Amino acid sequence: MPNYYCEYCGTKHSSVSNLTSNPCSRHPDGPNKGRHKLYEGTEKSRYTCKYCGTTNSSIANLTSVPCSRHPLGSNKGKHAPAL
């Protein structure tokens, strides 16, 4: 069974339809202001932030930390996993 992860928060589901039917606590518009978004990259042992290059072992941990090079401004958003 493949796993599907949310790009914003790292929540794992066994199907895309389950993932994208649930609200996301780390949605860019605000907590639970939108649904999880499918992370379209492959499962990795390390995930790299596409803005600053910070790495972490899980999407959930990576996206819990503000990014100093976020496009909206320094620490205005969280790290985002590169594909």
Q: What residues numbered 55-74 form the site for Zn ion, per CB under 5 A?
A: 67
51 near Zn ion, rule: CB under 5 A? yes
H/E element, 62: helix 59-62
Q: How many residues does the structure list for the chain?
A: 83
CA atoms within 13 A on the CB side of 80: 18
Number of residues that bind Zn ion (CB under 5 A): 12
Say which residue the tokens 């780390």 belong to: 26
- Give, as one character, the DSSP assignment of residue 18: H
Is the CB of 9 or the CB of 47 nearer to Zn ion? 9
82 near Zn ion, rule: CB under 5 A? no
Q: How far is the CB of 69 from Zn ion (least distance, A)?
A: 6
79 near Zn ion, rule: CB under 5 A? yes
